[in-house]
Structure 1
């Protein structure tokens, strides 16, 4: 299946900002709006869910979030859709999104964390590329000048990515070529057995997460393994697992060690501690685009 790549952006194009999941104050996205307009040269269209009057965890009711998101997907004047934040909520509306118009005129949809379910759904059902990348809050406190947020700008402009990181003691050397898929571990597992289930055979899979107990990471990795999602990969990229907790009686291994043991029987290359995460270190990654992974003893390279 040929992957559909949305048109890259040019100065003067419009980026829509919406919150299809958790609530976000407009003030926390104000710097993002400013940078997109003044520094990057885009127009910005703010959806009703950013800074909504919701008094719950969500940025509005399911119906309100669905309507706002759908409008941005279908708006001919909007060339890309940036999710203000993740949190939780995309899974409640994903099956009600109408992709009829979007399939004919795809546009870049940007986000990570809870937005993983959208990326997986879009890729597995329609083979359209999207961007697992920094969201609005990453622009704050001077973040817009770091190389990770800048990688989003470069991705939107159509520049080919080439990311490098240091080697890790648990890495398994090798090289792999395949379409890049992945995102938040909990959301990938959440999609198994649903229309949003991620296709992984022959792909390079990347994973990251935040706030999970070690035993929960172990459980989710075994679910990936038992469902066949790990056995025919081209390669595995393990990102950062932030704020990982442990039980009173310790699990007995780090997250990296437990993942290493789970994939130990396979032959494909594996790298650990790649800069994709809930933290500042979060490169823009094009879901569905062909990539080459090189895991060498001294350096790891992931490039389109």
Structure 2
């Protein structure tokens, strides 16, 4: 019986085509970076759909392909976009001081002190990348929207974060139907400058290289409930929370359930994309969260 099982496994390996994956940051230029078209999905319900100038600008912000090893050119932000940033920046910064983890707040203060983040203009990726490179080697590479989980995780393996440069419409400043530049700059960037968090994110990405579709689904779920919606102690870690004033208040004022990290429960969770999270998972510290995640991706 054991011999039969061995032969079946060997035969399966002979006829299973290996999954191609990038071997370097430069190879990331070959991966699929097509994005989900949420504008078509929502139609007239997409915030700003009746604003022709905004929709034309939004389209221009989605249509580019920056090589992963190249410098990111500066983007044009109209007055309305900078006003939206201004509305959000002050509110989020105030809430971060109350509820965000120390690792996040320390780097947000540094970004301000170096004049990379200001309240009046959307920060440019070129300045952010120069700073991130000096801290941990992470880099933001713009994409047109939400790309598939495999490609996104491949980027993390080489300390590349595929990010959005467009910003939500001013008519809906406190709610975004998809991750935008506010999510990436106010949620992710300060923590990517922390070496422990950079290693944490990269390790999830490394485990995706050549992984099966089933493993990719598991890694995406682990990432979602740690990097995006994780809690450490009584403070917020996750970028998905830190980029939403409503979500911060929901978590900070303990209006949602938070349980100790448990891999089985995490993998059985359903994604909640257009409402507040009903259940989150926490560790006592970033070090402990990293330990839990490392154990999870090894399993």
State which structure, 1 or 2, has the greater radius of gyration over its C-alpha atoms: 2
Q: TM-score, normalised by structure 1?
A: 0.26
Identify, as 1 or 2, the structure richer in helix: 2
Identify, as 1 or 2, the structure richer in strand. Answer: 1
- TM-score, normalising length: structure 2: 0.26
